Amino acid sequence: MTKDIKKIAVIGTGVIGNGWISRFLAHGYEVTAFDLDPNAYEKTKVAVDSAWPYLEKMELAQGANPRKIRFEDSIEKTVKEADYIQENVPEQTELKKKILSEIDKHAKKTAIIGSSTSGIKPSVLQEKLKNPQRFIVAHPFNPVYLLPLVEIVGGSSTSKDTIDASSKFFKDISMKPLIVKKEIEGHIADRLMEALWREALHLVNDGVATTEEIDDAITYGAGLRWAQMGPFLTFHLAGGDQGMRHMLRQFGPALKLPWTKLEAPELTEELKEKIITGCEENAGDATIKDLENKRDHFLVNVQNLISQYN
């Protein structure tokens, strides 16, 4: 455990919130949580129990216990003793600002507050906080209990101490903190995924490929390389002995060709039906839970493999 962070609070226990809870529990923390859903506690228990077998394969911390969680009936009770607080309410700016102000009001002044927002700038979210220096965006990736990346974004009022302390904390719970130096909507990873997603929508809309064919193009091609190396190192290797220098000289001119469209196509009913039908056909008889289990088995194994090379 990080020395100064002993008690954790989680506000909002949907898919992302429960993913955070599972990771915190696996690293030996006790978690206090709050959610307006009266069935939240039962749903969280189910989510943690589902994640736990995969967390066991990733090694649990001493004292890790899937039942070290309690729910409170107010934000005040949930956060008052916490050293780190993770907010995960729906991606609505005004709602988040309201909840964060409530958290800020009742939390200890030394507590760090993180938001799971996937796209809102931290300076916007910390505008009305009395202690904005301790606020960060801490944007994870689903499933949070297995994927290590967390984007840390500070706002205009965030202190360096908060960035440093949160980075250390995330490293201690086996995450890969990526400190985003400049605020931008969507941060880094989601902007990259969004660009690929928009192009994929065009390919389906224009009848070039089905959803399954696009998934195969990534799964059996670029995706295998990206599991170890990102796009820049991948292209560096594509340049042969001279690396990126030769790669840019040979393939750079192709960037002027109209290969990609970037602006998303209109989501017409026809396009939505193509995408929905394609995904359902690709999934076949497998349920969402079947696919999640298959994904989690894979992610455990691929991370163990990556660790051998990185």
Per-residue pLDDT tens over the stretch 197-224: 999 999 999 999 999 999 999 999 999 9
In-domain check, residue 209: yes
CATH number at residue 228: 1.10.1040.10
Residue 142 in contact with residue 299, Cβ under 8 Å?
no
Are residue 103 and residue 11 in the same domain, yes or no? yes
Residue 247: what pLDDT? 85
Q: Which amino acid is at 152?
A: I
Domain boundary among 180, 207, 235: 180
Q: Which domain holds residue 201?
A: 190-309
The answer to whether residue 60 sits within a structural domain is: yes
116-129: per-residue pLDDT in tens? 999 999 999 999 99
Which of 161, 180, 199 is the last residue in one of the domains?
180
60: its two tokens: 């649990």
Across 16-33, average pLDDT: 98
* pLDDT band for position 2 (cuts 50, 70, 90): low
| pLDDT averaged over every residue in the chain | 94
Question: Predicted confidence band at 307 (pLDDT cuts at 50, 70, 90)?
Answer: confident
40 lies in the same domain as 176 = yes
Mean of pLDDT values over 277-285? 91
How many angstroms separate the CA atoms of 226 and 218, rounded? 9
Q: Cα–Cα distance between 140 and 220 in angstroms, integer?
A: 25
Say if 2 falls within a structural domain: no
Q: Are residues 21 and 110 in the same domain?
A: yes
Neighbours of 262 (CB within 10 A): 9
pLDDT at 310 over 80: no
**Is the domain of 165 the same as that of 44?**
yes
Q: Residue 1 class from Cβ within 10 Å (0-12 exposed, 13-18 middle, 19+ buried)?
A: middle
Predicted structure pTM score? 0.91
CA atoms of 290 and 79, how far apart (whole Å): 35
137 in a structural domain: yes
> Do 173 and 234 reside in the same domain of the chain?
no
Last residue of a domain, one of 130, 161, 180: 180
- Asked if the structure places residue 1 within a domain, the reply is no
User: 109 and 232, same structural domain?
Assistant: no
Q: How confident is the model at residue 305 (pLDDT cuts 50, 70, 90)?
A: confident
Quote the number of domains for the chain. Answer: 2
Q: Alpha-carbon torsion 203, 204, 207, 213, what sign? A: positive
Task: Report how far apart, in Å, the C-alpha atoms of 113 and of each of 69, 138, 249 are.
Answer: 19, 9, 46
Taking 70 as the threshold, does the pLDDT of residue 3 lie above it? no
**H-helix segments, 80-188:** 93-106, 122-125, 160-172
Q: Which of 160, 192, 175, 193 is nearest to 86 (CA)?
A: 175
Q: Are residues 151 and 200 in the same domain?
A: no
Same domain for 273 and 124: no
- Does one domain contain both 214 and 102? no
CATH of the domain at 35: 3.40.50.720
